[in-house]
């Protein structure tokens, strides 16, 4: 009988980074259980993209867990705060969602324990990103330490690992890696204020970083914009 693949939980948001992360986890030989979190984000069309990406990239299964972060607000993605479109601001932007990555990884950790999986993958990036504190290597390392302290699996000797394979890549590097892996970026949604059909605004920080990544990589950008007359990068 063929040897069973090692299970892993992969956080899949529907954006380009998590799609490449899922493809990398598959390439490394993991049986991928894709997890998305509906946290009340205004760009909810990314959840439909996550379902597409999980199916397209061969996840064993895909779950969406609901955690309503709109109840606490504090972010342009979960409250009635305008998404900035000027770009280039200093400090942590208002699109930062308090505790989002901590909550997502905690949910992923719970599912990993249930599955008997020792590996969790997330697509956080600390090079071309929006300045979020929970996208840094220090955060990933701290969460991995917590996972091994706070779980039955960790206490009983399993070594739980949190993989962030894109964390030191530029957006151009991520685009090139996705192209190598055959990721269909047209299926992904990155925009912070994408419409119900997943069409991008072309002006927010996420759109800017995505467009610059494709341009720097020399790869055609398949992003669909709400403004049909917009010139893509």
Q: What is the pLDDT of residues 126-135, one digit of tens each?
A: 887 778 999 9
Is residue 1 in a domain? no
By percentage, how much of the chain surpasses pLDDT 70?
94
User: Is residue 230 in a domain?
Assistant: no
Establish if 228 belongs to a structural domain.
no
Residue 231 has pLDDT above 50, yes or no: no
Record the pTM: 0.94
Mean pLDDT of the chain: 93
pLDDT at position 4, please?
77
| Count of domains for the chain | 1
Q: Domain residues for 130?
A: 6-217
Specify if 223 maps to a domain: no
Which of 121, 127, 113 is closest to 140 using CA atoms? 121
Residue 105's Cβ-count burial label (10 Å; 0-12, 13-18, 19+) is buried
pLDDT band at 146, cuts 50/70/90? very high
pLDDT, one tens digit per residue, over 105-128 is: 999 999 999 999 999 999 999 887
Is the pLDDT at 210 greater than 90? The verdict is yes
Establish how many alpha carbons lie within 13 A of residue 86's alpha carbon, considering only the half-sphere containing its beta carbon. 6
Within a domain: 175: yes
The CATH number of the domain where 69 resides is what? 3.40.50.620
């Amino acid at each position: 009988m063929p040897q069973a693949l090692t299970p892993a939980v992969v956080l899949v948001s529907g954006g380009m980074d998590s799609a490449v992360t899922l493809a990398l986890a598959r390439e490394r030989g993991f049986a991928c259980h894709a997890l998305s979190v509906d946290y009340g984000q205004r760009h909810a069309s990314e959840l439909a993209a996550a379902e597409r990406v999980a199916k397209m990239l061969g996840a064993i299964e895909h779950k969406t867990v609901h955690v309503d972060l709109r109840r606490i607000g504090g972010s342009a993605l979960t409250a009635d705060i305008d998404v900035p479109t000027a770009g280039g601001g200093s400090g942590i932007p208002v699109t930062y969602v308090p505790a989002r990555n901590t909550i997502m990884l905690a949910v992923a950790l719970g599912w990993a324990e249930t599955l008997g999986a020792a590996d969790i993958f997330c697509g956080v990036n600390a090079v071309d990103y929006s300045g979020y504190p929970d996208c840094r290597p220090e955060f990933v390392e701290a969460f991995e330490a917590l996972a091994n302290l706070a779980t039955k699996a960790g206490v009983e000797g399993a070594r739980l690992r949190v993989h962030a394979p894109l964390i030191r890549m530029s957006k151009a590097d991520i685009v090139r890696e996705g192209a190598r892996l055959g990721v269909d970026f047209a299926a992904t949604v990155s925009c912070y204020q994408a419409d119900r059909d997943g069409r991008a605004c072309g002006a927010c920080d996420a759109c800017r970083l995505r467009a610059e990544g494709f341009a720097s990589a020399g790869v055609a950008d398949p992003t669909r914009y709400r403004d049909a007359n917009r010139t893509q990068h």
